[in-house]
């Protein structure tokens, strides 16, 4: 929320691409003087105060793909073009309270089916707030978090965090969300999944620390960095 007042903080990390769930619409994004402006920006959602924002910097540009499914309100296929390398981004905020099939991970499961052909791209990233974790799997419910992970791995797409930190789904050492910003209510629900070609170029995956980021959000950033030498 109120990303305009927080942008300068995350921009200290010098991002190329930002995926910002719960972001106000672009018309409300009047950044303070001195805050670096993005090269490109996209926004999607029904609530002008709380949608999905995607921002590019350092010469990267964004274009929503024509196969966007409006029913998946805040899961957006985007062509990212830049000087270092180009890739396809599925920007994700898994939240749709009007869908009777389920408002969280069920949205991601539907997106994997609708955008299945995109998942074959050799330069593919799925990033954002999935609002899910294996610990909440419903045993007899199709499309739980484990099913999402299995579907992606079958496409040679892997969680950058779990590869880099050698973690097991559902047993993560680091949390990305703290309910009510309370340190004793931690969960790992934000992810960056990448195709094998990008996974082979992983440089680092940093998870923000609660004691610093709690003043800005109940989430902490997941910062994934790649070597630029993509061939």
How does pLDDT run across 91-143, given as a tens digit for each residue? 999 999 999 999 999 999 999 999 999 999 999 999 999 999 999 998 778 89
- CATH ID of 65-226, from 1.10.150.240, 3.40.50.12780, 3.10.150.10, 3.60.10.10: 3.60.10.10
The 10s digit of each residue's pLDDT in 179-217 is 999 999 999 999 999 999 999 999 999 999 999 999 999
The 10s digit of each residue's pLDDT in 5-62 is 889 999 999 999 999 999 999 998 888 888 999 999 999 999 999 999 999 999 999 9
Q: Is the pLDDT of residue 229 over 60?
A: no
Whether this prediction's pTM lies above 0.85 is answered by: yes
Task: Write out the chain in H/E/C secondary structure.
Answer: CCHHHCHHHHHCCCCCEEEEEEECCHHHCCCCCCCCCCCEEEEEEEECCEEEEEEECCCCEEEECCCCCCCCCCEEEEEEECCCCCEEEEEEECCCCCCCCCCCHHHHHHHHHHCHHHHHCCCEEEEEECCCCHHHCCCCCCCCHHHHHHHHHHCCEEEHHHHHCCCCCCCCCCCCEEHHHCCCCEECCEEEEEEHHHHCCEEEEEECCHHHHCCCCCECCEEEEECCCCC
The 10s digit of each residue's pLDDT in 62-74 is 999 999 999 999 9
pLDDT of residue 64: 98
């Amino acid at each position: 929320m109120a990303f305009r007042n927080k942008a300068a903080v995350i921009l200290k990390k010098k991002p190329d691409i930002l995926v910002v769930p719960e972001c106000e619409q672009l018309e409300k994004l009047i950044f303070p003087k001195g805050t670096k402006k993005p090269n490109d920006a996209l926004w999607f959602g029904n609530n002008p105060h709380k949608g999905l924002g995607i921002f590019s910097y350092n010469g990267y540009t964004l274009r929503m793909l024509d196969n966007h499914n409006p029913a998946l309100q805040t899961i957006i296929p985007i062509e990212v073009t830049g000087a270092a390398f180009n890739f396809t981004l599925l920007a994700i905020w898994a939240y749709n309270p009007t869908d009777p099939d389920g408002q969280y991970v069920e949205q991601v499961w539907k997106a994997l089916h609708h955008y299945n052909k995109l998942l074959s791209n050799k330069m593919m990233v799925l990033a954002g707030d999935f609002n899910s974790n294996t610990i909440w799997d419903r045993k007899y419910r199709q499309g739980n978090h484990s099913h999402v992970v299995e579907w992606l791995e079958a496409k040679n797409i892997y969680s950058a965090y779990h590869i880099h930190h050698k973690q097991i789904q559902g047993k993560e050492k680091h949390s990305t969300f703290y309910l009510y910003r309370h340190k004793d209510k931690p969960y790992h629900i934000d992810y960056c999944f990448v195709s094998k070609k990008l996974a082979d170029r992983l440089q680092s995956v940093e998870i923000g620390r609660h004691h610093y980021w709690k003043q800005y959000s109940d989430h902490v950033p997941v910062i994934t960095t790649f070597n630029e030498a993509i061939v």
